Amino acid sequence: MQRIGIIGGGIRGSMYAQSLRGLLGAEVRAVCDLAEPVARKVADGFGLTAYTDHRRMLAEQQLDAVIVATPDFAHREAAVDAAGAGCHLLVEKPLATTREDADAIAAAVRAAGVQCMVGFENRWNPAVAQLRDRSAAGALGRVLTQNILLSNTYYVPTTMIGWAAKSSPAWFLMSHTVDAAAWVSGRAVTAVDAHGSRGVLAARSVDTWDVVHALLTFDDGTTANLTSTWVLPDSLPSVVDFRYQVVGERAALSFDLQEQSVQEAGPDGLSRPGLLGREIGGRLQGPPTWMVQEFVTRLERGEQVSPGLDEGAAVTDVVVAIHTSLESGRRVPVGPAARA
């Protein structure tokens, strides 16, 4: 039985608690959030002990694993302390928003001899997994390029998350698509060219990038084009727009997740509730649920968890380079040569 604590009681922390409820081999014991009402709400909803100090939670609860579901920029302290307490980790993507934080987490994990999974949930997305499977099987031939659009409506940066000004479409969204592009192609990113715009969200008191475009170059000279925005109209039928195309020497594959959704037209307009992230038979379904359940199941079996530190650090390096390119207007190298 894996005894689990959750650090971060917001949308994701609550979802993880729900995802693990009733899972064989999982016992979620406690939740921690700096805001006591948030911690208390999750604790009361799932029969957990509430904390506002994760160090106290780690000291008082005998935990085998910890889920770090804090905001993008706030993973280091919780992850390092949990690893130091001997806990395996599931850290929300991105692993960290600086290389220094990523290195500190990796050092703590390795010193403690524990495991760390990074929450790239689209590896459990059936559509993305299909692209990866077809690519890995050689059905596409050499992957020549990928075009990935992952965007949100204004609702996400202005209402859903209160810390959007400390993040960006690149950290919040492109960390998903950078990992997906590398996973599907099986290649490492060696350079980034990024461009974008800002000002619209800043006028709404969220001072971050509105639109980010990034051209990734891989170690074999192939490319991926990524676009993420936080300024789609709230009138769209879904808060997420996710479209993906892979072009190979032999074949091309693509999907549009919005077109795979249920469409509902009612008195309040058109909406697409979505097929993933729903309950079936009282149990939550969807990529993040399947991801956290596999994390616990693999720990219970004594198996290796994945994606891990190397994949997490690689994505952090790429998104740092995207921001550097946005600010400088120049192409930015990525990887060991860039850090030498």
CB 143 within 8 A of CB 184: yes
The whole-number pLDDT of residue 21 equals: 93
Inter-CA distances, 149 with 202, 213, 274, 292, Å: 22, 9, 17, 25
| Cα 252–Cα 216–Cα 304 angle in degrees, nearest 5 | 80
Structure token pair of residue 137? 């099987």
The whole-number pLDDT of residue 340 equals: 55
Contacts for 134 with CB less than 8 Å, ≥ 6 apart: 140, 251, 253
Q: Three-state DSSP class for 120?
A: coil
Question: Which residue ranges form the domains of the chain, and what is each CATH number?
Answer: 2-114 (3.40.50.720), 123-278+314-339 (3.30.360.10)
Contacts for 138 with CB less than 8 Å, ≥ 6 apart: none
DSSP line for 172-219: IIIHHHHHHHHHHHT--EEEEEEEEEESTTGGGT--SEEEEEEEEEET
Quick one: residue 47, left, alpha or beta (phi over 0 = left, psi -120 to 50 = alpha)?
A: left
| Nearest-angstrom CA–CA distance, 162 and 68 | 18
Type of residue at 41: K
Q: Which of 228, 229, 247, 218 is nearest to 318 (CA)?
A: 218
CB 245 within 8 A of CB 216: no
How many C-beta neighbours within 10 Å does residue 111 have? 11
Residue 332 is inside which H or E element, if any? strand 332-333
| Nearest-angstrom CA–CA distance, 255 and 223 | 19
Structure token pair of residue 310? 């190397």
Print pLDDT tens along the chain (340 aa).
899 999 999 999 999 999 999 898 999 999 999 999 999 999 999 999 999 999 999 999 999 999 999 999 999 999 999 999 999 999 999 999 999 999 999 999 999 999 999 999 999 999 999 999 999 999 999 999 999 999 999 999 999 999 999 999 999 999 999 999 999 999 999 999 999 999 999 999 999 999 999 999 999 999 999 999 999 999 988 899 999 999 999 999 999 987 766 777 878 777 777 666 677 777 888 999 999 999 999 999 999 999 999 999 999 999 999 999 999 999 999 987 576 5
The whole-number pLDDT of residue 15 equals: 95
Residue 43 is inside which H or E element, if any? helix 36-46
Q: Which of 30, 86, 70 is nearest to 78 (CA)?
A: 70
The whole-number pLDDT of residue 279 equals: 77
The whole-number pLDDT of residue 132 equals: 97
Q: Which of 76, 277, 312 is nearest to 178 (CA)?
A: 312
| Nearest-angstrom CA–CA distance, 225 and 216 | 6
The whole-number pLDDT of residue 264 equals: 78
